Amino acid sequence: ARPGATSVPSSRMATVTASLPLRAAARAGPAPSRAPPSDAAFFPGRPWQRGLAARGRPREPAGWFRAEALSGGGGGGPPRREPMAPPYNVLITGSTKGIGYALARKFLKAGDNVVICSRSAERVESVRNDLKKEFGEQHVWGTVCDVREGKDVKALVDFARDKLEYIDIWINNAGSNAYSYKPLVETSDEALIEVITTNTLGLMLCCREAINMMWNQPRGGHIFNIDGAGSDGRPTPRFAAYGATKRSVVHLTKSLQAELQMNEVNNVVVHNLSPGMVTTDLLMSGATTKQAKFFINILAETPDVVADYLVPNIREIPTNQSMKPTYIRFLTGLKAYSRIFSRIAFGARRNKYVAED
């Protein structure tokens, strides 16, 4: 360990500075409002929307929902989109441990209903039973889902509909780095496939099914895609594949926002959610270098601390009837720089989670 807080070399400070998320939270305005098409001309020239209709979208005008209908009155206009009000129905992928589990508990504490899932039937049963003892039988449900499999994600939607009828908030948390921290040239085929199919293919499958589900709901819905290291475009040595997949999360979210606006779907919104560095098994398994330990001690927080911040901010969006895409960040640039300063000036958070050499 360094003998004094003020002896941090300039090279270390440069490394820390270069690794901080600096972008401000991105916010986009709502899609332009237009009158709904008539039933006779449903989705002319729009294969994407025709595909949704073919999968069960009601063809009656009563099935067409618009965010602007909230302020509408009587008359012959479209019916109002049902406003969202708590308790909310929440679905979280990868929610039997880590930040997903912490989010589930926080939503349950707020009085919401939660569907948890993971690949492990044993973990789902154990966590579901524990949560039911704490929050009651009628507030939490669990099922097995491998997000890499389209049939599993479709079954997850069916399960949620059967138990809760609709989902207000869908959080795509499932992710993996195959517990591998090594250069790409040393990474196995199996690890690469695990990372890419879980973080990229799995996210796309979940977004597709969540949009199809929520687009048919009178209340609409909100989808939150969780980012991670690499999402801001900065390098992620020793887990390059993971960083590349997390960079794609931001692009996918923006593309989906554009598609929904382009196709005049105003009752479904896709957001980004950034928990920052969280002391999960995934993160701590990589605490094997001086640099990793340094960053973890300064910037990381426990899942409960992060969930305590994120959940109220997530719930505020439907509570305010907002239909604007939002990027919710726990670890902002200002917060990160403040912690760096405290470490340099006062030695704060040294050895907080792991012993530094």
Per-residue model confidence (pLDDT) at position 80:
55
Is the Cβ–Cβ distance between 297 and 274 less than 8 Å? no
Query: Is the preceding peptide bond at 87 cis, omega within 30 degrees of 0?
Result: yes
Which is nearest to 145 in space by CA: 183, 89, 202, 201? 202
Is 208 part of any domain? yes
Does 53 reside within a domain?
A: no
pLDDT at 23 over 50: no
Tell me the mean pLDDT in the region 47-75.
39
**Does any domain span residue 206?**
yes
- 289-307 residue pLDDT tens: 898 899 899 999 999 999 9
Neighbouring residues of 30: CB distance < 8 A, sequence distance ≥ 6: 67, 266, 323, 324
Two structure tokens written together for 180: 């591998």
Lowest mean pLDDT among 43-52, 90-99, 131-140: 43-52
| Nearest alpha carbon to residue 90 among 210, 227, 229, 248 | 210
Q: In sequence order, what DSSP letters do the residues of 269-288 get, joined into one string?
A: EEEEEE--SB--HHHHTT--
Q: At what angle do helices 10-18 and 333-346 cross, to 10 degrees?
A: 160
Domain count, the chain: 1
Tell me, yes or no, whether 266 lies in a domain. Answer: yes
Other Cβ atoms closer than 10 A to 155: 16
Residue with tokens 């991670």: 228
Residue 47 has pLDDT above 70, yes or no: no
pLDDT category at 248 given cuts 50, 70, 90 is: very high
In a domain, 14, yes or no: no
Q: How far is CA 183 from the centre of its chain?
A: 27
Q: Is residue 288 part of a domain?
A: no
* Averaged pLDDT, 171-191: 95
- How far, rounded to the nearest angstrom, does the alpha carbon of residue 205 sit from its chain's CA centroid? 14
pTM to 2 decimal places: 0.79
Give the pLDDT confidence score for residue 288 in this predicted structure: 86
**Residue 11 belongs to some domain of the structure:** no
Q: What is the CATH number of the domain that holds 111?
A: 3.40.50.720
How far, CA to CA in Å, does 159 sit from each of 29, 138, 152, 163? 33, 15, 10, 6
Which tens digit of pLDDT belongs to each residue from 75-97? Answer: 343 345 789 999 999 999 999 99
Neighbouring C-beta atoms of residue 14, cutoff 10 Å: 10
Asked whether 224 and 171 are in contact (CB, 8 A), the reply is yes
Q: Which residues are catalytic?
A: 242
In terms of average pLDDT, the best of 81-85, 207-211, 214-218, 353-357 is: 207-211
Confidence of residue 285 (pLDDT cuts 50, 70, 90): confident
Q: Is 8 a member of any domain?
A: no
Domain that holds residue 176: 89-281+302-332
User: What is the average pLDDT across 344-350?
Assistant: 93
